[in-house]
Chain A
């Protein structure tokens, strides 16, 4: 996993509440057996004017000029500013894969859906919860200033605006540790191998039916 330490990046808007993972990456692209190749289809139904299918040459497709991410001023954005309950719906990890591949390393919103929030941390993407008032203010600042950038410091747990404001955010210590170091959490869990085995042995005694083979 890519490390996340500090980032100063251009901010782009996804200005609607309850953005679901079907909207982030539509289901036809989930047929892939790979982890890559989803960036070009991020927000496919909003981004293009035609209907997207896997295998299409996306560079020839008609872009929706109304969609924020297609505007010149947001090209190269790495921070996505969003509204409440971002990432609701399906558990598809293809959603953070698509966001990350497109170039977003961090998403700021007043709230996130649980599974999506969790999936981001597994992919080097930092989801940040700030209050609704702060998020609204960031939206206003971003809209009024082309080239608006935010600086995100994971170690300090701070978001800094170009006007010198600093907002603190919460992050679980374990997730922070993994993200700062780019750790693969499977190897960390396997450090507890003995505990898992001991737990399993105990349960084989108390609840043996859980270990019946299925066939």
Chain B
């Protein structure tokens, strides 16, 4: 057989049947479900008189709507103040109970953001195909898995058939070699990549992240990078299996054990791209050139190094792009040429499926320790990605580091990343956010999001404006 990429291998292993028009029936090993994109799928199943094909492949947890204050969380689902959110979380509980689907309910310690819970429990494993009705499902590709987001009709389709009808994507390699400078994190790497290829650069591709930077990167860093593959337009991002992958997966609650572990490891080691495998597009970045990144506009590709200045639309020749810059500057309340380090902040959000794992919490705490949140910042919240992350952070005393600095330490959920619960920005407020999308209104009506790493968000909370964490 000719040389294959990691994506080729994952794809080939899951083809149930190949159709003449180029599409294929692909088997799905793991299906993760949350409350927002599933109710209509369960209803569709019921109306058609169908049952889930394989209940034991499904894992559910509520995350988008759950409140994050301990007061509102205390009485579980019944305590959710927003009546519409409450119905949605209850509906997930009822659907899972009725069908026998395992669900980590709102106050189960294993509850959390779907893309944090999947890897940390071992529900998501190398070599798997994984789907969820959520575009950030690309996260799990960090394990050496084929993992992508789907719509609600496809959620129903996977529940009913255990398969998805798909056409193979093209292969893209994003290669970053060299060494990252101190203070430059996985989030900065992925933001720099998106800045380079654009939000549609990966459309139609599955991206493999390769090169010495990703080989040296921790599993949690790789999860952050793959999480934002979708922000570059790619449904799936992935990193090849290596010893770091295996060490991370070993002993996770749902990881195979004993003899099965050895059998699985032997199988997983093949999930790397062959040396002479063909990629349809290759993009290379030099690690040494990457600085801490800050997004200035309303699309993740509108990103600059901390030392940069906001662009001037009069210098853009393309009329559609020029108009885009003007609209973004207007929405963000920024002026052409303004220095990134002059942007003052109203709120700081540390959390989301991009940056709410223990390493993210530790990185932010390390910057904050012994310092105080700026008076000019109205609110700084830290929302751990899961109950397990929260417990780990508390056992290390990190919650105290945050609360002593004037931050709020919250309960796990998606929170202010998309502001479906009570955590949101006010109109016109600027936020340093460790989340993944800076779209208009994303974090609240009229809210102004700046995407940054946890360390940069922490430093910004202390300074009240963006500062270079390398000099902080």
Q: Residues of A at under 8 Å CB distance from B?
A: 16-18, 20, 22-23, 26-28, 30-35, 45, 51, 54-55, 83-85, 88-93, 96, 111-115, 118-119, 122-123, 172-174, 184-186, 189-190, 192, 195-196, 199-200, 203, 206-215
Contact = CB atoms under 8 A, between A and B. Distances in A.
Interface string B417-449: 011100000000000000001011110010000
Contacts of A88: 199-200, 233
Interface in B109-162: 121, 123, 125, 127-128, 133-135, 149-154, 156-157, 160-162
B263 interface: yes
B160 A119 contact: no
Given A196-B161, A209-B263, A30 B39 contact: no
Nearest to A84: B200
B323 A31 contact: no
B75 interface: no
B203 interface: yes
A20 B150 CA distance: 16
Contacts, number: 193
Nearest to B85: A31
B260 interface: yes
A172 B22 contact: yes
B151 A55 contact: no
Contacts of B133: 91, 93
A174 B21 CA distance: 7
Contact of B200 (A113, A203, A207): A113
A90 B135 contact: yes
Interface stretch (B23-31, B309-317, B389-397): B23-31
Given A189-B163, A190-B161, A200 B27 contact: yes
* B: interface residue count bin: 35 or more
B466 to A, nearest CB: 24
B163 A32 contact: no
A215 B128 CA distance: 19
Contacts of B82: 31
Contact of B151 (A18, A23, A119, A190): A119
B106 to A, nearest CB: 15
Given A90-B135, A93-B37, A174-B23, A123 B324 contact: no
